[in-house]
A and B are shown apart, each in its own frame.
Chain A
Amino acid sequence: MSELFAPGTFTPAPGRGQLGRMLLAQAGTETRLALRNGEQVLLTLLIPVVLLVGLSVLRVVPLPEPRVNSVVPSVLALAVMSTAFTSQAIALGFDRRYGVIRRLAATALPRWLLVAGRLAAVLAVVVVQLVILGVVAALLGWRPDAAGLGWALLMVLLGCAAFGALGILLGGTLRAEMVLAVANLVWFVLLLGGGIVIPLDQLPAGIAAVAAALPSGALAEGLRAPLVAGTAPGIGPVLVLVAWAVVAGGVAVKAVRLR
């Protein structure tokens, strides 16, 4: 009877795919989607590059020379926040709206791998950002202290954990439009008042105290020590980022909804 489907086409042969292939397929697709979405690229690459060049070349904020050395930690903190928090929350909000989280949960993909795939996609975009921003900064005369690079990488990972957990919490609980509004508003507020563009020591004392306890301030400060001075980050920023990651991750595990 069937002309389209030869007999035996659908003879059952079920089973779960290999974990590595599942992770690669999901994370690879989510990375490609993030890198070809215009608004997300604006947020994750264009704005950080413009700020990196602008703050290094234009003297709008007083910074020690060479200016680019002070700008790089700010811009890397911004890049991590943009990708792990804002871009990820918005993507998750709309992914839920379009039913893809449920679609993937309906496959053999284990729940933990679903989360791991999203985080892997975030890390992949962050790697792209680090490469592009690193090259642009080098062209602007940035010569980082090699001793600090390992510490900086650790801070980037901690920043991804803290902002990623917050992004999943936000994107996984509110309606897509609300996620869009809140994620962009928080991004803007933390960029200006959260210790990213304006270092903590140049903010008013009250705001600086708050910003130091925020993931934005902690990440930017934690990057300044290794990248500007070539020293280990203070224990403060590390603890702040770990605390945000643990608390937001714990709440997210309970609160995130598939739809």
Chain B
Amino acid sequence: MDKAELKKAFLERMSAKMGRRAVLKGMGAGLIAAGGNGVFPGIARAQQSGHIRIASIKVIDTLDPHFTGFLSSIQIINNIHNGLLKITYDGEEVRFEPDLAKTWELEDDRTHLFKLRENVKFHDGTPCDAEAVKFSLLRVKEGEPESPHAWKLEQLEEVEIVDPLTVRLHFSQANAFLPVALNGSTGRAGTIVSPAAVEKFGQDYGRNPVGTGPFRFVSWRENDAIELEANPDYFEAGLPKLERATFVLMNEASTAVAAMISGQIDGMTDCPMQLVPQIEAFPGANLYGEIEGNYTFLGMNNQRAPFDDINLRRAVAWALDRETILAQSYFGRAIQAYTPISPPMTKFYDPDIATSGRGQWFDLEKAKQFRAQAADQGEVQATYMMAERGPVGTRVAQTVAPMLAQIGIRANLELIEPATWVQRRNAGDFDLYDFEWVADLDPDEAIYPEFRSDGAWNYCGWQNADFDQHCADAQVTLDTEERRRLYYAAEDLLMDEAPIAIMAHMPIYKVFSTKVDGFQYIPADLVNLHSVSLTG
């Protein structure tokens, strides 16, 4: 351990004992000197200062991590709460690392031992200990009302409290998906909430969230703003750096861009692809964004005519000119998808997929061959429902319709309200629709619930027992090599029988003013403000 690390470890221990502020007051002078040397840039400015205003573009349903269905909510929740694990990204690889857990050991493939950080307190002053972890996990697994994330902990059999800071989780089988489920970000299931606050607020916890995170919840004014303030007792040394953070609730991304350019806000949680050139042309803003864990597709209703015909589906899958779709629907910013597994799933994504011969791509000849084998040789009429939703609204539908016409499918574009769109999709009342599954970091969450024969999100109604088996096997396989083989086999079935025509992996953008320092981009649509500071 070198000198700097020793000093840091010492400081951490000190801060735990005395509370961060006392440490800073007592050691301020020395720390600033150290910061000047670039050893502790964070700690040198640790006295929280600055008030950041960020436009939150999409709907916030609730700030209860165990019940939200929206990434836009997670973006805020993740600043208030921590998980057992967290997602990190070094520009190359996405990793799952202990967060509230200090260590995480695999005693055997079904037993996980977590040792928790000491002296971590919730914002309401109650301790974050093994009891709180047990409470939170069981709230997800078997709480009332039922959490939409309960399935992630289906195989959790017992939460054993070894001592106040140690929990042992017993699972019924090995679970390779666990790191995703137990992280406090997109996984949600492993987010730890204050038992006292849940007790106190009950159903209203989502409006009064109490976590251990770098920021405390202050207020939520409907259709106006969500206010957070620094948690001075946060367990990560030197964080947070900001004193206050306001998420301004703006529905219109173009309004947010205007506010950004006029300096009314310091950042945006999202920036639709069509507005990116405006941000790029504006010298006062930095754009963050890479291809994330997602895939977009044209979904077909496998449960009714005309797309219960596998040959017609295959014809569609090979008839979509992906290059045109990328240029026209995604403004040249997305990359072509051949299968659902996306680049951030570094252990599973094949960088040479384009030449591997796996998946779907544009081949009009092949499409016409399949079309010739379809049962209906006349002009096929299909209802394509679209809505002003998602990253590019109705652009995909408008781009794809002429391509379908080339193989004798007349897509009747029907524009409906986003809420109706969701209703109809869930009820299977459509022939065609386009959609995107986003923020997936593991192949399991990317394809299994979406295409499992009885999967909750299997809106296309495709059924294939072999696919189900491959995914189920992969879930309990911890060997990465073997898991990859199983997922490739599952994907090959999916792409061949074509319940969907896969199109693209998209970048998801965040915008921050050039005054904002220290934002750590993570390709899981997160807006973590932990290390963010404001200059000037």
Co-complex (A, B): no
Interface residue ranges, A against B (CB under 8 Å): none
Interface residue ranges, B against A (CB under 8 Å): none
